[in-house]
Structure 1
Amino acid sequence: MRIPLLNASIIVIYSVFLLRLTWRFQTLHSIAAAMITNILLYGLADTIAQTIVTVKSVRLPLDEEADLGTVYTDDPNDDEHVEMFMSFYQNETNERRGEEDPSQVTTPGYSPAFNFWRLTMFMVYGFLLSFIQQPWYYIVNNIYDEKNVIISSIMRVLTDQLCFSPLSLCAFFVYTTVVIEGGNKSDVEKKLKAKYVTTLGINYMVWPLAQFINFALVPPQLMLPFSSAIGVFWTAFLCYRNAE
């Protein structure tokens, strides 16, 4: 299934800017580099997430009817029975759709428009997060000695994953629910109850190993770009999961 041209163009633009930023990262001030990286990262990640939703939402208009098979018959009475069955099936389908959340119902063959408001708000979130991430990396890199690289890297990973990850994930769901979706306290509680624990579990399947490599092998000035490269896919997953 084809990716919409607008989505593909935005993905290419963000990717090019991120690649160019990687080459010039060490020449920029640390905070400025973190801000630009996060803005591009969250912009690219949300675009990927929106693209996944768009591709999944596009359906052939007759998909549901095609699943039933097509019946041809020469008997007028049989034709009448088939028409009655199809009419009943269509009514049942419409009733089921009517009970669903209208925002979650996708019209067959319809491709949802690209949400620039959501894209902008995710970029704002990345911008705000950079003011926390950069000092956090500085703290984690300086509270442990370097006598044993393996031990110090493990300690940094544990500190990062037990202290920062749970809070940042909670902040992500709160921000997206309140700012992007216009939800209230009750909506936040429902979102956290439904998705927080399972998402945190998936986080622990991805980030400990990635952060161990980051702390053990990557130079300090390139740690944020490294985590951001992995973060593109992780954040795209978060954006998609938040929209489910």
Structure 2
Amino acid sequence: MSKARGIFQLYQKLLTNRPYLVQAIQAGTLMGAGDVISQTCIEYKSFENFDFKRTIKFSSIGFFVGGPALRAWYGLLNKHVGVGGKTVAIKKVFVDQAIFAPGFLFFILIAVGTMQGKSWESIKTDIDANYLDVLKTNYYIWPWVQLANFYYIPLQYQVLIVQSVALFWNTYLSWKTNHKSLLE
């Protein structure tokens, strides 16, 4: 148990000293893991057919965009909406889901299409086909996760909690943004 405690203490120290870097690594790793799960457990790709470039690209979105954006966003929510309490948590969920989620999901769909090397016309077609479904699915899952996250979890751990739940969300996003290419 001592090793686990030591690892957690190291994590806390790194998180305090380099919050954006740690949360970027978390997000990138978990987005990559979501893509691996999508390719192996949903798309049933064998090792020979596994698309490693796709995983690296999907992971890089988490590393360069997802983690840093979430950390900055949660900091802004704490600063402008408040830190604790039921009312603050509800306000944060509302602001998060009304402002951040629609724009962030739109950007993620653009980023995935861009990383896939698609033309702008193809990206727009994918957004037309997928955006509302992804946003609707987001509203089934994330308000409840965020309510618990904002009410119970300290700021420095909120991205970790979200990214842990997002392992399943990232699997869905990876499948959703790649399943059409499976049919072609």
State if a TM-score over 0.5 links the two structures: yes
- Cα 1:126–1:145 change in 2 (3 A) is closer
Shift of 1:24: 3.9
Partner of 2:176: 241
Indicate the larger mover: 171-180 or 200-209. 171-180
Does the residue aligned with 1:145 lie in a helix, a strand or coil?
coil
Show the counterpart of 1:122. 58
Take 1:187 and 1:121, find their aligned partners in 2: how far apart are those partners? 18
For 1:21 and 1:201, locate their aligned partners in 2 and report how far apart those are by CA, in whole Å.
38
The answer to whether the 8 Å contact 1:54/1:111 transfers is no
Change in Cα spacing, 1:225 to 1:24, as seen in structure 2 (3 Å) is farther
Number of the residue aligned with 1:113: 49
Give the structure 2 partner of residue 25 of structure 1.
11
Q: Which has the larger share of helix?
A: 2
Deviation at 1:202, TM superposition (A): 0.6
Cα 1:193/1:38, change in 2 over 3 Å: same
Which structure has the larger Rg? 1
Counterpart check, 1:168 vs 2:154: no
Superposed displacement of residue 132, structure 1: 1.7
Match of 1:153 in 2: 89
Q: 1:201 to 1:21 in 2, by over 3 A?
A: farther
Q: Which residue of 2 is the match for residue 134 of structure 1?
A: 71
Q: Which residue of 2 aligns with 1:88?
A: none
1:221 aligns with 2:180: no
Deviation, 1:111, is 7.4
Shift of 1:112: 5.9
Partner-residue secondary structure (3-state), 2:50: coil
The whole-number CA distance in structure 2 between the counterparts of 1:54 and 1:21 is: 34
Q: Aligned Cα RMSD in Å? A: 2.0
1:41 and 2:27 aligned: no
Q: Tell me the distance in 1 between the aligned counterparts of 2:155 and 2:170.
A: 22
Report deviation, 1:150: 0.9
Counterpart among 202, 205, 223 of residue 137 in structure 2: 202
Please report the TM-score for the alignment, with normalisation by the length of structure 2: 0.85
The amino acid across from 2:33 in the alignment is L
TM-score by length of 1: 0.65
Quickly say closer, same or farther: Cα 1:227–1:21, change in 2 above 3 A. Answer: farther
In structure 2, what is the Cα distance between the partners aligned to 1:171 and 1:22? 33
Whole-Å Cα distance in 1 between the matches of residues 136 and 64 of structure 2? Answer: 25
Moved over 2 A (4+): 20-25, 52-55
